[in-house]
């Protein structure tokens, strides 16, 4: 079995965080599922060389089961350094070639932030206009060429896209979970230790967590470990420091240093103020908490909240301190809930591994032949 993994950017790009993690995980998962993966990635001049090689292999009779692509958050034409369309016909020309040889095409599209009011407010008008035109050009090409259009949350994307064709071929493909070592984690509901909530992720912008801090500050018997980047903390600390108490600990750890913090926690937090982005986004941390079988507190009405409710992997709560505080008090009164939610997490994890995501993508694309 063979497939092509197509990325219109460099995998080793710096500062892209989860955006770089996802294609790596999908490549590993396809390989684990038995596929020989041919990778096409890099800036357009690099992709052109790889495309030439793969075109020759296909013309020479080599068979591929499908092509799976992951888009950039920038328009495809503007992904090169300098954001200029140096090879404007490269990517979709190759997609047309692949489609002409009977190879199904699927693409994962990460978000639709450009569709919402306020996009590009910091850009000169001409740059914003050009970017929006390029985003719309991408969608028109997807309508013509794709067999499957993968998104994190089908409900939101189908509503916002405004494209009957893409809504028809839209399939949900959120991030996946790994298999970390859970041997060091603490027993759930230990009455001799405070109820420990772990938040790891961004601050500011879409990641507003003030109500979480207020709730922990009002509920004795709880504590919060807040893990974020040092630079983001410096930007947000004037707003957040007044909400801290001696039961809230701020730490700055990288991904390789998080296991002891996961092991210490009873709950994970996905409590964010609602907005158009969070209503459709499924943060990677949703599935990292799930991988650690850590029940979560999530904002109801968001994509993460819906996942939590559907799978019984935590509590979906309104984003306000009073409601969240009452939920924490109820958990303290009945800590056996945590063990029950952990069982649901363990069950849900088996359905949400990265290998499951790769299998779903492969099955959908083969069905589209």
What DSSP letter does each residue of 294-331 carry, written as one string?
--EEEETTSHHHHHHHHHTSEEEE-SSHHHHHHHHHHH
Q: What is the CATH number of domain 2-176+353-367?
A: 3.40.50.2000
What's the pLDDT at 16? 40
* 98-131 residues labelled b (16+ CB within 10 A) or e (exposed): bbeeebbbbbbbbbbbbbeeeeeeeeeeeeeebb
Superfamily (CATH) of domain 195-351: Glycogen Phosphorylase B; (3.40.50.2000)
Average pLDDT for 296-315:
95
Using CA atoms, how far residue 366 sits from 29, 65, 93, 94, 141, in Å, is: 17, 7, 22, 19, 21
pLDDT over 70 (residue 13): no
Across 15-40, average pLDDT: 85
Coil, strand or helix: which one is 177?
A: strand
pLDDT for residue 121 is more than 80: no
Give the domain ranges of the chain.
2-176+353-367, 195-351
- Residue owning tokens 């306020």: 118
Check residue 179 and give its pLDDT. Answer: 86
Report percent pLDDT > 70 for the chain.
97
């Amino acid at each position: 079995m063979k497939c092509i993994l197509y990325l219109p950017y460099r995998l080793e790009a710096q500062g892209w965080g989860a955006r770089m993690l996802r294609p790596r995980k999908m490549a590993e998962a396809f390989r684990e599922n038995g596929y020989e993966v041919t990778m096409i990635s890099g800036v357009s001049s690099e992709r052109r060389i790889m495309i030439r090689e793969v075109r020759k292999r296909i013309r020479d009779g080599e068979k591929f089961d499908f092509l799976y692509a992951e888009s950039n958050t920038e328009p495809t034409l503007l992904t090169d350094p300098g954001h200029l369309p140096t090879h404007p016909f490269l990517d979709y020309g190759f997609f047309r070639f692949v489609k002409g040889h009977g190879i199904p095409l699927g693409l994962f599209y990460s978000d639709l932030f450009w569709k919402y009011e306020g996009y590009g407010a910091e850009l000169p008008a001409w740059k914003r206009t050009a970017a929006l035109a390029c985003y719309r050009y991408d969608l028109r090409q997807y309508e013509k060429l794709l067999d499957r259009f993968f998104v994190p949350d089908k409900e939101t994307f189908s509503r916002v896209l405004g494209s009957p064709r893409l809504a028809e071929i839209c399939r949900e493909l959120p991030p996946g979970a790994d298999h970390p070592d859970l041997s060091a984690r603490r027993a759930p509901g230990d009455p001799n230790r405070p109820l420990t909530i772990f938040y790891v992720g961004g601050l500011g912008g879409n990641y507003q967590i003030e109500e979480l801090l207020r709730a922990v500050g009002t509920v004795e018997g709880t504590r919060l470990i807040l893990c974020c980047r040092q630079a983001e903390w410096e930007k947000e600390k004037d707003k957040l420091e007044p909400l801290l108490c001696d039961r809230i600990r701020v730490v700055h750890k990288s991904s390789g240093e998080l296991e002891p913090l996961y092991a210490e926690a009873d709950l994970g937090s996905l409590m964010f103020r609602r907005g158009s982005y969070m209503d459709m986004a499924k943060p990677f941390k949703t599935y990292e908490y799930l991988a650690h079988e850590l029940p979560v507190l999530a904002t109801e009405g968001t994509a993460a909240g819906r996942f939590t409710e559907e799978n019984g992997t935590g509590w979906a709560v309104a984003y306000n301190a009073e409601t969240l505080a009452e939920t924490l008090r109820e958990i303290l009164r009945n800590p056996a809930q945590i063990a029950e939610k952990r069982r649901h997490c363990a069950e849900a994890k088996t359905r949400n591994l990265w290998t499951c995501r790769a299998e779903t993508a492969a099955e959908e694309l083969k069905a589209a032949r």
